[in-house]
């Protein structure tokens, strides 16, 4: 952080806070303009007018819109997202239980996409227009073109129903549910910490297919961007000089090119990670994964605006935070960005 001035850091932090405030404003407006009745979702469509009016007053919906907005912000500042209609629990409590499942799935997906996408992009650029480059480009194109839910359904049919290589929907088989005490909320980690290796392998069998499918789209993006960054560097004078000195192609990539594109890759990986957290919704529905995506979908079906708005805020904030951290890393370690900032 020595290379990034306090003023520049403050400016970027201010951008984050402004973006967060805009997100809160948008979610508030969505919660008020969508054709869903939060009062009716709680008391039921057949409730008598007195009960309906009492609940409307309790929720503050009878107040002027600006007062509703201040109450909304005050509740968020205290971690109060309201009560979920579906479960009757505080929404914050439900999200605390659902988020670890999404985090575990997205984290494994970004690990897979990184360890496959980055080397594939490097090799494709190194052997430009070769067979491996063409294959890499086709793989990336398919990852961008075919919907995730289609991959999910086909994957379940082939690898679960047909070959029985992976576990089915859910995080674990039914008879293993509740046997691991939540500590971190990450089932793979908690099962290992408690010595439940059988449950660990069962959970790994359940998560591997949705993680790979979720990772595919991110891998396609990472591969394409890594290839582009690498091709740009391979045309630079320092690479030509290294090759003239007898440095091997892979040595040039490892010692010279990769360090120069590392910051760009960090930015791409952060964006991909945020996209995986956001885009896990469809995957969670297909695989009955009990994460935020599944939770928000169930809430949407019954018009539970508290849960919908809270989930949107959490996912949006995480996405903005990851972009902020990537932006800080870029400005800190890339000398060109520091010169621009000055």
Give the pTM: 0.82
- pLDDT for res 188: 92
pLDDT tens, 108-142?
A: 999 999 999 999 999 998 888 889 889 988 988 88
Q: How far apart are CA 306 and CA 223, in angstroms?
A: 38
Please report, rounded to a whole number, the percentage of residues in the chain having pLDDT higher than 90: 15
Q: How far apart are CA 43 and CA 55, in angstroms?
A: 8
Please report, rounded to a whole number, the percentage of residues in the chain having pLDDT higher than 70: 90
Question: How sure is the predictor about 341, in pLDDT bands with cuts at 50, 70 and 90?
Answer: very low
- For 223, the token pair is 């591969």
Q: How far apart are CA 97 and CA 288, in angstroms?
A: 15
Indicate whether 19 pLDDT > 60.
yes
pLDDT tens, 39-62?
A: 766 666 666 777 777 777 776 777
- pLDDT for res 339: 46
Q: What are phi and psi of 217, to 5 degrees?
A: -65, -40
- pLDDT for res 34: 64
337: alpha, beta or left? (left if phi > 0; alpha if psi -120 to 50)? alpha
Question: How sure is the predictor about 86, in pLDDT bands with cuts at 50, 70 and 90?
Answer: confident
> To 5 degrees, how large is the angle CA 287–CA 293–CA 299?
115
Report whether 239 contacts 256 (CB < 8 A).
yes
Question: How sure is the predictor about 202, in pLDDT bands with cuts at 50, 70 and 90?
Answer: very high
- pLDDT for res 302: 75
- pLDDT for res 113: 92
CB atoms within 10 A of CB 286: 20
Check residues 200 and 282 and name the one with the higher pLDDT: 200
- For the segment 66-88, the average pLDDT, to the nearest whole number, is 81
Question: How sure is the predictor about 1, in pLDDT bands with cuts at 50, 70 and 90?
Answer: very low
- For the segment 166-177, the average pLDDT, to the nearest whole number, is 87
What's the mean per-residue pLDDT of the chain?
A: 83
pLDDT tens, 250-269?
A: 888 888 888 888 888 888 88
Check residues 292 and 86 and name the one with the higher pLDDT: 292
Question: How sure is the predictor about 340, in pLDDT bands with cuts at 50, 70 and 90?
Answer: very low
- pLDDT for res 44: 66
Q: How far apart are CA 327 and CA 171, in angstroms?
A: 34
Indicate whether 2 pLDDT > 70.
no
- pLDDT for res 274: 82
Question: How sure is the predictor about 200, in pLDDT bands with cuts at 50, 70 and 90?
Answer: very high
Task: Give percent helix, percent strand, percent coil of the chain, each to the nearest 5.
Answer: 75, 0, 25
pLDDT tens, 278-311?
A: 767 778 888 988 888 888 888 877 777 788 888 8
């Amino acid at each position: 952080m020595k290379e990034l001035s306090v003023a520049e850091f403050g400016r970027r932090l201010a951008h984050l806070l402004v973006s967060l405030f805009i997100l809160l404003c948008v979610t508030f407006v969505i919660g008020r303009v969508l054709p869903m009745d939060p009062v009716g979702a709680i008391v039921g469509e057949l409730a008598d007018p007195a009960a309906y009016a009492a609940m409307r007053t309790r929720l503050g919906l009878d107040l002027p819109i600006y007062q509703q907005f201040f109450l909304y912000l005050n509740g968020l500042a205290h971690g109060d997202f309201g009560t979920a209609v579906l479960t009757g629990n505080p929404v914050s409590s439900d999200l605390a239980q659902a988020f670890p499942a999404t985090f575990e799935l997205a984290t494994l997906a970004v690990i897979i996409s990184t360890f496959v996408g980055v080397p594939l992009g490097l090799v494709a650029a190194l052997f430009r227009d070769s067979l491996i480059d063409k294959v890499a480009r086709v793989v990336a194109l398919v990852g961008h073109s075919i919907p995730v839910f289609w991959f999910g359904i086909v994957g379940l049919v082939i690898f679960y129903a047909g070959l029985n290589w992976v576990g089915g929907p859910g995080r674990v088989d039914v008879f293993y549910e509740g046997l691991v005490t939540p500590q971190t909320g990450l089932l793979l980690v908690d099962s290992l910490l408690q010595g439940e290796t059988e449950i660990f392998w069962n959970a790994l069998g359940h998560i591997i297919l949705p993680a790979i499918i979720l990772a595919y789209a991110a891998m396609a993006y990472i591969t394409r961007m890594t290839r582009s960054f690498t091709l740009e560097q391979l045309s630079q004078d320092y690479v030509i000089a290294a090759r003239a000195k007898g440095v091997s192609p892979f040595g040039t990539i490892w010692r010279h090119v990769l360090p120069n594109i590392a910051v760009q890759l960090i930015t791409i990986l952060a964006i991909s990670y945020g996209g995986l957290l956001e885009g896990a919704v469809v995957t969670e529905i297909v695989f009955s994964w009990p994460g935020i995506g599944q939770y928000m979908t169930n809430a949407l079906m019954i018009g539970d605006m508290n849960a919908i708005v809270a989930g949107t805020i959490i996912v949006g904030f995480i996405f903005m935070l990851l972009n902020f951290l990537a932006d800080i890393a870029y400005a800190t370690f890339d000398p060109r960005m520091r010169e621009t900032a000055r």
